[in-house]
Amino acid sequence: MGWDSKPVYPVEAAHTVSVRATGEQRIAWKHAARKYGKGTAGGFLAYAADFTIAVLKALEETPSWRED
Amino acid sequence: MAGGLKVASFTVRATMAQSVAWKRASDAEGHASVGTWLAEAVDRHLEAVARSGRPLPLAWRHGRFRVALEDGEREVSGFASPPFGAYRGSEEGPGPRGCWRYSLVYIPQRRLLATFRTYGHCKALASELARLWVRWGGSEPIEDPAPLLQRFQREEA
């Protein structure tokens, strides 16, 4: 591993999930992985999933944004 | 996915915490498997990015701010771009280098919004949430955050 490289996954990432994709998704995800600097499409998938959950959770847990 | 289509397979590695969170979201949205939920979440994320353009480039600087932790409120050191702050650590408190825990805080309420594996994730979420402030001229928004939420959800139609 070079000086500037970072591991895509934490060392405790011991579980695996299989994701099927169409050809179009495969191209889009690989392109996004490069754009986001994730190294692999799997790394990008994990990032996007965590991000989606974090946004939903943050919105759910910030009720003041709904108050007048 | 329609039958007969050529498909590719990806393997995503996850921690136990990620597995649990993804399974919960998958179940809540009625998916038969975590894999199909993951595919949809990623497509949704990419669509949102494409629709909304580049995230707002918030200016971050080193700073100290207060956050409500599990055992009480305390001041932490990290990066700040009001009204957001980010620090290395979790709801348990500041963490050591290499702990893979970085938390985003809404400073006015001292509320921890989310904990990620990198500062970059915290800043990305802050950029998304900042759109609400922009629409309200820098004031805390009173509008419903549904538009932001909807960008991350499948279009019902």
pLDDT digits (tens, 9 = 90+) for B10-55: 889 888 888 899 999 999 889 999 999 999 999 988 887 776 555 5
CB contact under 8 A, A16 and B145: no
Within this chain, do residues B103 and B71 fall inside the same structural domain, yes or no?
yes
Within this chain, do residues B73 and B104 fall inside the same structural domain, yes or no?
yes
> B98: left (phi > 0), else alpha (psi -120 to 50), else beta?
left
Q: Is B55 exposed, middle or buried (0-12, 13-18, 19+ CB in 10 A)?
A: middle
CB contact under 8 A, A23 and B6: yes
B101 vs B119: CA distance, rounded Å: 9
Is the complex ipTM more than 0.90?
Answer: no
Of B22, B124, B132, the CB nearest to A51: B124
Task: Classify residue B5: in a domain, yes or no.
Answer: no
Within this chain, do residues B86 and B109 fall inside the same structural domain, yes or no?
yes
Overall domain count for chain B: 2
Model confidence pTM above 0.80: no
Domain that holds residue B94: 61-127
CB contact under 8 A, B35 and A47: no
Task: Classify residue B147: in a domain, yes or no.
Answer: no
R_g (Cα) of chain B, nearest Å: 18
From the first residue on, what is the mean pLDDT of each consecutive set of 10 residues in chain A (68 residues)? Answer: 52 81 90 84 89 77 46
- Nearest-neighbour CA in chain B from A3: distance (Å): 15
Task: Classify residue B109: in a domain, yes or no.
Answer: yes
- Nearest-neighbour CA in chain A from B61: distance (Å): 22
Q: Which of B80, B87, B30 is nearest to B59 (CA)?
A: B80
Task: Classify residue B133: in a domain, yes or no.
Answer: no
Task: Classify residue B139: in a domain, yes or no.
Answer: no
Within this chain, do residues B36 and B69 fall inside the same structural domain, yes or no?
no
What residues of chain A, 20 to 59, have a C-beta less than 8 Å from chain B?
20-23, 25-26, 28-29, 32, 41-42, 44-59
Each residue of B82-134: pLDDT tens digit?
889 999 999 999 999 989 899 999 888 888 888 888 888 888 888 877 765 55
Of B7, B13, B19, the CB nearest to A20: B7
